[in-house]
Amino acid sequence: MNHHITLIGLGTIGISMAALHLRNSTSTLHLFDTRPDLQAYIESTLPPFLSPDTPSVTSLLSTGRLIIHSSLESAIKPATIIQEQGPETPTFKQTLWKQVESLASKNAHFWTSTSGIPASVQMEGMSGKTRLLVVHPFNPPHIMPLIELVPAPTTTASEVDFAREYFSSLGSGHRPVVVKKEVPGFVGNRLAFALLREACHLVKEGVVSAPDLDTILMASLGPRWAVNGVFESYQAGGGEGGIGSFLGKLEGTIQHVWDDLGKIDMEGDNEWREEVVRQTDEAYGVSMGDKARVKEEKLRKVLDVQNENIE
């Protein structure tokens, strides 16, 4: 099906999302952002995200697959899907969706790429509360397969199904997963921040340096979790008894570690933050430079390994 997808907000995530849709669907893309130089900006930032077999931006613009709009109204009118990647404040989102609702066709699907503001909060000023859901990608969206679908309690199941079907059928390897409750950070970032808190605590306590902790993660859990999830890993680790046997054998050690986990906070005594920043800056520098391209290629290769069929 050929959709008309309107993207509102074209920062890094928006540009990457535009590339994802252009590379893997035949939909028409409508772009809107309040920056004044939008066309020049799109022409310079989008090309590196496109694959070699995607038409050039000039060609996409001239054939009408890509349309740059100068008003929100003209961008919304033709849309069958409206996806926003705007500023991460409740006020911005609430104001935007109220406007969108008044301009959009009554069957248009409403998606927000937010990483933290639940759909139920964003829809506060809307008169209909059934269409909007969170469609949270992981950075960079055109490569990373995860799409977290987080409906508000009032979002209809058919909207969730529609978004899941859309991303599953792109052929891009994206893996939409439904998160059933609107918890802070959804699931991916909660897991990441749980580990980050302990990582910062260990650096703070001088147990290990920031780059040594990165080496530990890359030499163990990263590759393991690229191949097996955490539950499947421990299912295997428990032998014939599976994860039940694993938890049984290690319950003492696990509880001992849980009781000892760091409880640092972002506010209050902030010395750990300075130390983490200092060690990280010193280890990696502040400019990624050419490393970013190499890392991106490695990420693609790891994802290829995940999808490989091994007999």
Rounded least distance, CB 242 to its own copies, Å: 5
Token representation of residue 100: 């969108």
Which parts of 96-125 interact with its own copies (CB under 8 A)?
A: 115-116
Which parts of 259-278 interact with its own copies (CB under 8 A)?
A: 260-261, 265-267, 273, 276-277
Token representation of residue 197: 């808190």
Largest CA distance in the chain: 65
Rounded least distance, CB 89 to its own copies, Å: 11
H-run or E-run covering 81: strand 81-84
Rounded least distance, CB 244 to its own copies, Å: 4
Token representation of residue 97: 């969706």
35 binds its own copies (CB under 8 A): no
Stretch of 26-34, 97-105, 161-169, 250-258 lying at the interface with its own copies (CB under 8 A): 250-258
157 binds its own copies (CB under 8 A): no
Stretch of 26-34, 91-99, 163-171, 220-228 lying at the interface with its own copies (CB under 8 A): 220-228
Q: Using CB under 8 A as the criterion, what x/- string covers residues 46-85 for binding its own copies?
A: ----------------------------------------
223 binds its own copies (CB under 8 A): yes
Alpha carbon distances (Å) from 297 to 24, 143, 221, 273, 289: 19, 10, 20, 30, 14
Token representation of residue 141: 């969206």
Reduce the DSSP state of residue 285 to 3 states and report it: coil
When the beta carbons of 102 and 139 are compared against its own copies, the nearer one is: 139
Burial class (CB in 10 A: 0-12, 13-18, 19+), 85: buried
Stretch of 47-55, 59-67, 98-106, 170-178 lying at the interface with its own copies (CB under 8 A): 170-178
Residue 34: DSSP 8-state: S
Size of the chain, expressed as the number of residues it contains: 311
Reduce the DSSP state of residue 132 to 3 states and report it: strand
Token representation of residue 46: 């989008």
Rounded least distance, CB 56 to its own copies, Å: 25
Alpha carbon distances (Å) from 277 to 98, 210, 211: 40, 9, 11
C-alpha closest to that of 17 among 178, 157, 138, 169: 138
Amino acid at 304: D
How many residues touch its own copies (CB under 8 A)?
A: 105
196 binds its own copies (CB under 8 A): yes
Distance CA 148, CA 185 (A): 11
When the beta carbons of 73 and 297 are compared against its own copies, the nearer one is: 297
Q: How does strand 109-112 pair with strand 81-84? A: parallel
When the beta carbons of 72 and 198 are compared against its own copies, the nearer one is: 198
255 binds its own copies (CB under 8 A): yes
State which of residues 65, 130, 237, 275 lies at the interface with its own copies (CB under 8 A): 237
212 binds its own copies (CB under 8 A): yes
89 binds its own copies (CB under 8 A): no
Phi and psi for 310 in degrees, rounded to 5?
Answer: -110, 125
Rounded least distance, CB 81 to its own copies, Å: 22
State which of residues 54, 130, 208, 275 lies at the interface with its own copies (CB under 8 A): 208
Q: Using CB under 8 A as the criterion, what x/- string covers residues 173-192 for binding its own copies?
A: --x-xxxxx-xxx-xxxxxx
